[in-house]
Amino acid sequence: MGDGRGGGHHSHRGARHRSRRRGVPPGTGHHVRLQPPPRRPSRPPRAAGRPRERVAGRDRTGQGVRRPARRHPGHAPPQSALAHRTSPLRPGAVAAGGRLPGRRPPPGVRRPGPAGGSRPVLSVVIPTRSKAPSLRATLVALAAQGHRGPYEVVVVDDGSTDGTRELLHRLAGEAAGPAPRVVEGPERGRAAARNAGAEAARGRRLLFLDDDILTAPGHLNAHQDLSEAQALAHGPLREFPGARRWLERHAASDAAELAAAAARVAAGEEGRLLRNTLETLVCAMDEGKVPPVAPWAACVGANTSLPRALFEEVGGFDEGFGRGWGCEDLELGVRALAAGAHVVVPAPAAGVHLTHARPDRWEQHAANLDRFTALHGLRAVRELPRLLGEGGGVAAYVAACTGAAPAVR
């Protein structure tokens, strides 16, 4: 997804004032639905079978935008399946059961099935912002997989200004797989963008994929095969330092040529591929080379899937991380494991990250790491700078978490 773009959190003082206005007990940290007043006698009852939502306008793609039906004054609006997530959280507020407070979907919420009537097993959610060349490579590689079973691709355009929307319209007519469905992003950071995509998605399993990941045939099948499991699945990633020149070389390639080139890169047949320290830790834990000091570290938002029900149970990504880069995905992993998920790292689900520069990476990451540490007092969270900071490494991190440094190959 596009680079983070600054931002901050609401103040605790402001949250308390808003809580008082809305009838929320001070210090609860989340909204409480008030008991609605009785209907006025003069209001006629809602006709049987009347839909609670209606199409009211169209978005930029020409598709209908769903708006809540008009309600009686004073009635509380219905809470969405993935409610608003920008309020600051108290340290420890998500520890019990891994849930964010007040984030359960309301009873009876159902998502419409696709046009053919069959609900997709897998929904691929891709947030993007002004990265059209790498997004094109990601989507072309996905479409060329020959995936079995119904799936959908939901692209969250989070304020792109580089022709991304035109690219998506063009790919809709060229795609070998399902045409990507475009959702308007809220432009509040990658956590909010992923939540918006999950809200629009219809599959039983959600695969979060970044807009700069090349995948090989078998990638989607590996994630779909876990559709009935309470598994948080991460496809291991490798870095492609030569990505910028590779994208320039294939800028004019047609879809078939680009798909073939992407398959060669994903198979390790073209270009030099590296594994960063986080991926080295995840694979080392999966292979039993080091103790599982941080199993939640496998929740890397660039290539991770989990059941929709689990995602909704824990409340989705925490939008309090704002527009900065880093840690919002790992924090979701902590809550998912606390709620009973187990981690798997299937090799066929692997991908290649089209490495790109991020000049303010460390400044953004430090701010988000502070929030992560405040939310979860785990030793493995506090010691993350030894892994993810400049000059960090797996051996130093494991030693800080356990007191004994392993030999990591």
The reported pLDDT for the residue numbered 221 is: 94
Fill in the amino acid letter for 250: H
Per-domain residue ranges of the chain: 122-358
Q: Is the pLDDT of residue 15 over 70?
A: no
Six-digit token string for 185:
């992003």
Asked if 178 contacts 153 with a C-beta cutoff of 8 angstroms, the reply is yes
Instruction: Say which residue the tokens 């209908």 belong to.
Output: 64
231-234 and 303-307: which strand pairing?
antiparallel
Query: Which residue has 């359960």 as its token pair?
Result: 104
Write down the pLDDT at residue 365.
Answer: 79
| pLDDT (tens digit per residue) in 128-148 | 999 999 999 999 999 998 777
Q: Rounded mean pLDDT of the chain? A: 77
Highest mean pLDDT among 191-200, 363-372, 400-409: 191-200
Contact 13, 52 (CB under 8 A): no
Cβ-contact 371, 322 below 8 angstroms: no
Tell which CATH architecture fits domain 122-358: Alpha-Beta Complex (3.90)
pLDDT digits (tens, 9 = 90+) for 302-348: 999 999 999 999 999 999 999 888 899 999 999 999 999 999 999 99
Q: Is the pLDDT of residue 90 over 90?
A: no
Which residues 6+ apart lie within 8 Å of 406 measured at CB? Answer: 289, 290, 291, 395, 398, 399
pLDDT given at position 318: 97
pLDDT in tens, 221-278: 999 999 878 999 999 999 999 999 999 999 999 999 999 999 999 999 999 999 999 9
Contact 151, 175 (CB under 8 A): no
Per-residue pLDDT band at 47 (split at 50, 70, 90):
very low
Query: Given 3-state DSSP classes, what are the helix, strand and coil percentages for the chain, each rounded to the nearest 5?
Result: 35, 15, 50
- Give burial (CB, 10 Å; 0-12/13-18/19+) of 254: exposed
